[in-house]
Amino acid sequence: MLEPEHMSRLLIAGTKEQMGPVIAELYRRHLFHIEDFVGQEEYAGFRLGMPLPGATEASVELLTIRAASSAFGVESDGVPAARRLSGAELRRQLQTELPEIDAQADELVARRTRLETRSRDLESRIAELEPFTAIPIDLDLFRGYESLAVFAGHIPADVAIAAPHEKEYAGSKKGGFITVFTPLAHREEVERQLLDAGYSSVTIPGESGTAVDTITRYRDERAAITTELEGIDRQLHGLKEIHASFLLAADELLTADVEQAEAPLRFAVTDQAFVAEGWVPKDEV
């Protein structure tokens, strides 16, 4: 059965010049549990420390590693153990390989995002066009008039319009779809009659040709996009197989680097000294 480990409180103080080496030794031993400085009265004149040099660079590299891992779908579970690289080897690879890995991830993710956006746009356009498939009129004939008002929308049932007009109606079990062309002088009159009959307008598409032909073209484009997205997914999976072990090891290394570099943010400091409080296992004191 696991038992709680007895801990002892430890205070470490030194000059600012000693802070970096002290932090490195503490993290090497993995024993000191830092307690955050919160400005106690006994520390009058002290303030929170600033990150060590290199903190920003390590944070940027860590974000890059995690972005690539996310793009490739890398997770710690299911990645086979690889030969453990030394810290020096990992840092060399970070300099030589990370830029290319980052570029590959960015390019593939950007392509995927563009394609997914286009696919969603096509899906939305298809939905807007669907009601017009029942009306045998080219789409460009629904717009561009100076003397005619055009109505298009859903309506529960056909309606008799008491005004000069041209009308197309298509009914179904779920209701009907109607288009009406009327002189501008009768616009308000026709609109009132349509609304009284339960009319709900839709956006008139900006495409040309028939709705059926346009939808067919859009569906073909979406199918091509789906095929291209599948290819991108295969590329990402292949890159995952190649780089997963490196990315996980680099994440671990850089996480430790960032934690060490940002440790002073938890210390009390002056211009000349630092104080760190925390806990260590009693047997290690």
Is residue 257 domain-shared with residue 272, that is, in the same domain? no
With beta carbons less than 8 A apart as the criterion, state whether 105 and 215 touch: no
Residue 99 lies in a domain: yes
Question: Would you put residue 73 in left (φ > 0), alpha (ψ -120 to 50) or beta?
Answer: left
| Residue of 13, 225, 271, 5 lying closest to 119 (CA atoms) | 225
> Are residues 151 and 187 located together in one domain of the fold?
yes
- Between these two residues, 9 and 42, which has the higher pLDDT value? 9
Q: Considering 166, 186, 203, which residue would you say is the last residue of a domain?
A: 203
Last residue of a domain, one of 203, 232, 250: 203
**Alpha-carbon distances of 56 from 23, 59, 63, 121, 210, rounded to whole Å:** 17, 5, 11, 39, 57
Quickly state the pLDDT bin for 13 (edges 50, 70, 90): very high
186 and 127 together in one domain:
no
**Confidence (pLDDT) at 80:** 58
Does one domain contain both 39 and 103?
no
pLDDT digits (tens, 9 = 90+) for 230-272: 999 999 999 999 999 899 999 999 999 999 999 999 999 999 9
**Domain identity same for 129 and 253:** yes
The pLDDT value recorded for residue 263 is 94
Indicate if the pLDDT at residue 282 is higher than 90: no
163 burial class (0-12, 13-18, 19+ CB within 10 angstroms)?
A: middle
User: How far is it, in rounded angstroms, from Cα 181 to Cα 176?
Assistant: 17
| pLDDT tens digits for range 14-34 | 999 999 999 999 888 888 899
Does one domain contain both 3 and 71?
Answer: no
Residues 116 and 71 in one domain: yes
In the structure, what pLDDT confidence band is assigned to residue 228 with cuts at 50, 70 and 90? very high
Residue 284's pLDDT is: 62
Quick check: is 96 in a domain? Answer: yes
Q: How many domains does the chain have?
A: 3
Q: Which parts of the chain are beta strand (E)?
A: 7-15, 33-35, 47-48, 148-155, 166-172, 175-183, 200-201, 268-269, 273-281
| Token pair recorded at residue 137 | 């009129």
The reported pTM is: 0.77
Answer yes or no: is pLDDT of 81 > 60: no
Mention every residue, 6+ apart, whose C-beta is less than 8 A from residue 180.
150, 151, 152, 161, 165, 166, 167, 190, 194
pLDDT of residue 79: 57
Is 164 found in the same domain as 59? no
Q: Is residue 233 part of a domain?
A: yes
Confidence tier at 102 by pLDDT (50, 70, 90): very high
Q: Confidence class of residue 6 from pLDDT cuts 50, 70 and 90?
A: confident
Mean pLDDT of all residues belonging to the chain? 91
- 139 within a domain of the structure (yes/no): no
Range of the domain at 4: 1-49+267-285
124 and 59 together in one domain:
yes
Residues 39 and 99 in one domain: no
Same domain as 129, residue 60 = yes
Mean pLDDT value across residues 96-118: 96
Number of helical H runs and strand E runs in the chain: 6, 9
Same-domain pairing of 67 and 129: yes
